Structure 1
Amino acid sequence: MATPYMLTIAGLDPCGGAGILADIKTTENLNVSGLSTCTALTVQSDRVLKKCRWVDVQLITEQVELLMEHYPIGTVKIGIIENTEVITEIIRVLRDKKPDVRIIWDPVLKSGGGYVFHKKLKLRDLYRILDHCYLITPNYDEIRALSENSDVEKAIAEITARCHLLLKGGHRNDRKGTDILYRKGSSPVVFHPEKILDTDRHGSGCVLSSAIGAYLARGYTLEVACKQAKEYTYNYLKNSPGRNKLKGMEFQYISRGMTPEEHLNNIRRVCTAGGRWIQLRIKNRHEREVFDTAKKALKICRQYGARLIIDDYVSTAKAVGADGVHLGKNDLPTGEAKNILGPGFIVGATANTIEDIELQTNSGADYIGLGPYRFTSTKKNLSPVLGLEGYLRIVQQLQQRNINIPLVAIGGITREDIAPILDTGIQGIAVSGLLSAPGRTDLKATITEIQHFFKNTEICKATL
């Protein structure tokens, strides 16, 4: 039997996590020949999308016409599109060339990093488009944005009067990860998640919709295609680089002690009490002594299933097999550290301003230690204190610039500070003195109390 073809009409993500590159990789993995037409050129990494430049509609339709004329394309997946006029013209060309072509539209309103493609798109503007679609695959946030007054049930009814709908559940709170297939004239089919995954991988929506298209191209029914595609996407996320990479980063302990032995004793006490993200921070010691301490600290962390991050010493982190490094503003540049460490290592970076964060994000940092929150004596050459107002201002600036990177508050934080800090939009906290007081007997209770704040907090979570 000849290999089937599928056409993807979507944007170019240079890092390949989303858009036409992700679509092509998916279709090829599922034994379908993938063809593509680019709708947009983007400037982005796996963490931030900075620019989007739309491709001229005439160039898009000329490509579509030629491909439809020369290949037996039965299924087409459409991703990001400039506006309704462009997608209307694309659909007209598709229908002219093959009236029975099955069109799957993934109505992407914004990127995983927060970049907004469409702000005012409403369902009433899409009726003439939906009449020609076979299936659309919005997530819960997207269908709420499309509907009038966030009336999701009414939107579902209006869509399914025109085409099939797979409502993805990754952005809903009541049925996390549950997808629902609404078919014209049939009862809904519910697809429950095998497991909720923590991952910082973007583009899962692109993978899911292109996988559905690939299974349809291979002759599967819509219900089976959706079921198989959900399973494929789950395995894709489960095995992706970065899977669980930042798990536990919302609560970090930064070691303290007058001697290496005190650092190790405090690390062991915190791990025993339930701490699972440890940063070894030893200053003014010979690198050999830091290396020996890091090896011992890693052994403790591995015993308790904790992560170990080494402050500053990149070569030591790589040599002992730690999970990563944390770099201060005057340490080795983030990009150089990532080149030395290679893939798989975590690189955190200190920042005090929005400009610091943008620089570190573009350099590939995995998370930002943002501070100081208040004055602390544990660090020399202290940057300006931020406080709650500074955190709130920076979070708002990041949203305006479409920068999405986990922020960890640092600097003199007490128990009473945690809830107000998280209310600003900061995702995590790092503490030192709070857990290092000698002779304290309530360490486990303190850590349990702190972890309770994060019980319902989702850090870099993408779900099916």
Structure 2
Amino acid sequence: MIICLFRLRFLFFGRLDKSLIVKTISRLQYFTEENLLLTFEEQVKKVSSLGCDFIHLKMNNFSKEECFKTAKKSVKIARKNNAKLIVWDHPEIAEKVGADGIHFSKTKPIDSKVFKKLKAQFILGSSVNNLDDILKIKNDFDYLFLGPYENRGSKDEGAQIIGITGYKTVIDEMAKKNLNIPVLAAGGIRLTDVAFLAPSGIYGLAISCEALIVHDVPLEIKKFQAAIISGWEI
């Protein structure tokens, strides 16, 4: 059985209504941003049509009604292009629209019963800023975003910049503590950073507007995909 090159060997199995759920965590992921010439739906359509199969709908500072409407449209767009859609911070919306996953931007503990129910239905991830954040996590997430890598317009005020050496340090410490969870670098990542990030031991990359503000977007995405294959040799 051949698995898509941009998906890892991390496969998670669970039971829901007697059906088998397989969770695959892609090494190259995209999260939407609001300050672009493209709408959220257009971003989802653009990157999913170019082969990015793990897309995050991140809508900060929007009402739940707006998030719901956008998520409903975005799920359909993603499915049409064989991509997964992850909704940020709104479990109830993710459930209503049939999203593939939920990402929590904060590391606050989630009630164990609630988390167990969500875990059976969705891919679950969370954002972290340092090793302490990771060690404090009480829930069994499927992946983590560790960032920001660099402060290139990051809105995470007060967040500690990770940097290449920071990623290696965190991953090495996780290995010592037998913490086996996919960690993706996120926040201000550009194509030229991939060659330096791959050897750090991180699982993959979460890219955003950096990939859409270039002259040739399709070529940029292809280069990211090629860099993923070259850097991680899946």
Superposition TM-score tier, normalisation by shorter sequence:
0.7 to 0.9
- Map 1:111-190 to 2 at 5 A: none
Q: Secondary structure at the match of 2:205?
A: strand
1:400 and 2:211 are equivalent in the alignment: no
TM-score normalised by structure 2 residue count: 0.85
Larger Rg: 1 or 2? 1
Unaligned runs of 5+ in 1: 1-194, 203-238, 460-464
1:200 and 2:11 are equivalent in the alignment: yes
- Map 1:48-447 to 2 at 5 A: 195=1, 198-200=9-11, 243=22, 245-247=23-25, 249-258=26-35, 262-329=39-106, 333=110, 335=112, 338-360=115-137, 362-437=138-213, 440-447=214-221
The structure carrying a bigger strand percent of its residues is: 2
Q: Structure 1 residues 382, 376: CA separation in 2 closer, same or farther (over 3 Å shift)?
A: farther
Q: Structure 1 residues 288, 340: CA separation in 2 closer, same or farther (over 3 Å shift)?
A: farther
2 CA distance for matches of 1:313 and 1:442?
33
Q: Secondary structure at the match of 1:308?
A: strand
Q: Structure 1 residues 434, 302: CA separation in 2 closer, same or farther (over 3 Å shift)?
A: same
Contact 1:338 1:347 in 2 (8 A): no
2 CA distance for matches of 1:434 and 1:352?
20
2 CA distance for matches of 1:291 and 1:395?
35
1 CA distance for matches of 2:162 and 2:152?
12
Deviation at 1:374, TM superposition (A): 0.8
TM-score normalised by structure 1 residue count: 0.45
Unaligned runs of 5+ in 2: 4-8
Alignment equivalent of 2:224, drawn from 450, 453, 464: 450
Q: Structure 1 residues 293, 429: CA separation in 2 closer, same or farther (over 3 Å shift)?
A: same
Contact 2:107 2:128 in 1 (8 A): no
Report sequence identity in percent. Answer: 30
Deviation at 1:263, TM superposition (A): 1.1
Q: Structure 1 residues 240, 340: CA separation in 2 closer, same or farther (over 3 Å shift)?
A: closer
RMSD of the alignment, in Å? 2.7
1 CA distance for matches of 2:229 and 2:52?
14
2 CA distance for matches of 1:199 and 1:375?
30
- Which is worse superposed, 379-388 or 255-264? 255-264
Q: Structure 1 residues 339, 271: CA separation in 2 closer, same or farther (over 3 Å shift)?
A: same
Deviation at 1:303, TM superposition (A): 0.5
1:302 is matched by which residue type in structure 2?
Answer: R
